[in-house]
Amino acid sequence: MTLAALAGALADGSVRVVDLTHTLDPDFPVIILPPEFGQCARFRMEEVSAYDHRGPAWKWHNISMSEHTGTHFDAPCHWISGRDVPFGAVDEIPPERFVGPVCVIDCSEATARDPDFLMTRDHIAVWENTHGPIPRGSWVLMRTDWSKRKGAAYLNMAEDGPHSPGPSPEAIRFLVEERDVIGFGTETVGTDAGQGMHLSPPYPAHFILHGAGRYGLQCLSNLDLLPPTGAMLLAAPLKIKNGTGSPLRVLALVEEA
Ligand code: MN
């Protein structure tokens, strides 16, 4: 019954599908780690044939990239804190975890002023005063409008590393322990702030989310098209054996007001 109603709402446009995904493109930036570490590969595409002597009636490409390139999903086994979490790889995660309600916390005004902005527990409390408690089993997305940045402004690298916003350790701990979220997503290249290595624990979103068997989404876009509450998120990573993450198409179902 519910699905029939949904089909009707999709057909008459009272429920819209919003694409939260960047296009996979060799020029889209990937995270850059200090040079002593292994590096994440950009998206690459090579032509196999294009209706020519290599295949007269068809066109196709071979593609390659990191599991963590473009709009992508982070699984628990991505981080050392989640290495022994049950069902911690993308191929093992129960599929019902890929669908859930979504809350969007708008931090775009603050991040326009301060690229190192940290979303704290107080920011979440202010949001909840208006919109009510974050429901159990929700995705929480941090809107920063970072997805509108172009070129070097996206990673925003300086001598001391990248400068981009993220959550504070206390905020992530609150979302996991007090609100039992499925996961946390951002518009930046990681779920953590660019300077997240200096927090305690370092990279708290990765450490706390994945240690608790929760998921991350990053390089999201179009968060400004979502309501603060009431949308439904669809985020199913590729079924890579023992995969630590995956590029994916992230969609939101949004009910017209
Ligand atoms: Mn990642």
Measure the CA–CA gap between 20 and 8, rounded to whole angstroms.
Answer: 23
Measure the CA–CA gap between 74 and 211, rounded to whole angstroms.
Answer: 12
CA of 190 to the centre of ligand 1 (A): 6
Please tell me the predicted confidence (pLDDT) of residue 97.
97
Please tell me the predicted confidence (pLDDT) of residue 38.
97
Task: Identify the active-site residue in 68, 72, 78, 123.
Answer: 78
Per the CB < 8 A criterion, the answer to whether 148 and 108 are in contact is no
CA of 113 to the centre of ligand 1 (A): 26
DSSP string, 47-81: EEEEEETTEEEEEEEEEE--TTSSSEEE-GGGSGG
Q: How far is CA 202 from CA 48, 75, 77, 199, in A?
A: 43, 18, 17, 5
Quick check: is 22 catalytic?
A: no
Please tell me the predicted confidence (pLDDT) of residue 30.
95
Stated pTM of the model:
0.97
CA of 244 to the centre of ligand 1 (A): 8
CA of 66 to the centre of ligand 1 (A): 9
| 1 has a pLDDT exceeding 90 | no
Per the CB < 8 A criterion, the answer to whether 83 and 75 are in contact is no
Mean pLDDT of the chain: 97
Please tell me the predicted confidence (pLDDT) of residue 236.
98
DSSP string, 85-120: -TT-STTTS-GGGGEEEEEEEE-HHHHHH-TT-EE-
pLDDT tens digits for range 201-251: 999 999 999 999 999 999 999 999 999 999 999 999 999 999 999 999 999
Q: What percent of the chain is modeled with pLDDT above 90?
A: 99
Q: What percent of the chain is modeled with pLDDT above 70?
A: 100
| 257 has a pLDDT exceeding 90 | no
First to last CA, the chain: 22
Q: What is the DSSP letter of 40?
A: P
Residues with CB under 5 A from ligand 1 (ion): 68, 74, 245
CA of 88 to the centre of ligand 1 (A): 14
3 state DSSP class of 176: helix
CA of 245 to the centre of ligand 1 (A): 6
| 106 has a pLDDT exceeding 90 | yes
CA of 68 to the centre of ligand 1 (A): 4
